Amino acid sequence: MSFVDKFVAEILALQVSLYHSRARLQARTDGEALHDLRIAVRRIRSLLRPMRAMCGVSVLNNAAAEVGRLTTPTRDLEVMIQELENKGLSAQAQLRKARLAAHYSKILKSSALKSLFVQLDEWPPAFRSVEARGGLKNAQPLIEKALKKQIDRLHFAVDDTGFDRHELRIVVKQTRYLTEAFPKLSPLSPKATSSLKALQSALGSWHDHYQWCQKVLIESDLRPLEKAWRGCAETALEKAEAQLIDLAKLLPKTSGKKSWSK
């Protein structure tokens, strides 16, 4: 199977996963349906990212990005509810659970989700048309170039002690997901990839607790957890800083163009 064949097959497999996740969300079979839908969307975007400027690819990438943006507040609400339940604040959790049904319905009826499925149906023949015209001959080198550029961005963020930690979390996520999309092409070693995952986990925990502390300012029923959340945020950030030192030692050399560019 050629590189392009494998690429198309991966997108199609993720399309099937999206259909499955949507069906689960419609039937309310479990609490992980939306999460799994978002994972499939994220993986599609990671696969498309190196080629998102190509005709046909950009439209699908934009459709996936829109679904990602649309579903983020609902996923954040799910995580918040789980946190409240874990802390024994059932009244606060139940209050927020009441909102979920409306959130789910909004997502399922959205033009963004419908558009994504339409674009997924239309994308394969359009992509194959580009291939037939010779437009995908440099697909693999293009992906390798994108990976190197992403590593350069990560280097820049890691080496700058004053780099915004919220932005760092995004760079780390993008690097990890791009590496997972093309593991055989990524210059990251297995140890570096593992360290990157650990850093993302620590930064994710810090970000969640930081965001919850911000919500306390406008949602007064969360105040009983404010002190604990601030402590957890500080601990998670300290852990992230330690992970950052470990990752810096494992990163491959830059391409010589270590700069901040998106």
Question: What per-residue confidence (pLDDT) applies to 69?
Answer: 97
Cα dihedral sign, 179-163-39-141: negative
Q: Domain boundary at 87, 108, 137, which?
A: 137
Percent of the chain at pLDDT > 90 equals: 82
Long-range contacts of 5-13 (CB under 8 A, 24+ apart): 7/47, 7/139, 8/124, 8/127, 8/128, 10/47, 11/44, 11/47, 11/48, 11/120, 11/123, 11/124, 12/124
Task: Please give the residue that has the higher pLDDT: either 94 or 139.
Answer: 94
Say if residue 4 is in the same domain as residue 130.
Answer: yes
Report the C-alpha gap between 146 and 152 in whole angstroms. Answer: 10
Arithmetic mean of pLDDT, 116-140: 89
Say if residue 30 is in the same domain as residue 106.
Answer: yes
Arithmetic mean of pLDDT, 72-91: 96
Q: What is the mean pLDDT of the chain?
A: 93
Q: With 80 as the cut, is the pLDDT of residue 262 above it?
A: no
Report the C-alpha gap between 85 and 184 in whole angstroms. Answer: 41
| Residue 131 confidence class, pLDDT cut points 50, 70, 90 | confident
Q: With 90 as the cut, is the pLDDT of residue 261 above it?
A: no
Say if residue 212 is in the same domain as residue 239.
Answer: yes
Q: Domain boundary at 109, 137, 165, which?
A: 137
CA-based nearest residue to 222, from 98, 71, 79, 87: 87
Report the predicted TM-score, pTM, of the whole model to 2 decimal places.
Answer: 0.90
Burial of 110 (0-12, 13-18, 19+ CB in 10 A): middle
Say if residue 143 is in the same domain as residue 127.
Answer: no
Least confident of 135-144, 180-189, 193-202: 135-144
Structural domain harbouring 30: 1-137
Long-range contacts of 54-60 (CB under 8 A, 24+ apart): 54/130, 54/135, 55/126, 55/130, 56/123, 56/126, 56/127, 56/129, 56/130, 57/123, 57/127, 59/119, 59/123, 60/116, 60/119, 60/120, 60/123
When divided into structural domains, the chain yields a total of: 2
Say if residue 9 is in the same domain as residue 60.
Answer: yes
Question: What per-residue confidence (pLDDT) applies to 53?
Answer: 81
Q: With 80 as the cut, is the pLDDT of residue 1 above it?
A: no
Q: With 80 as the cut, is the pLDDT of residue 56 above it?
A: no
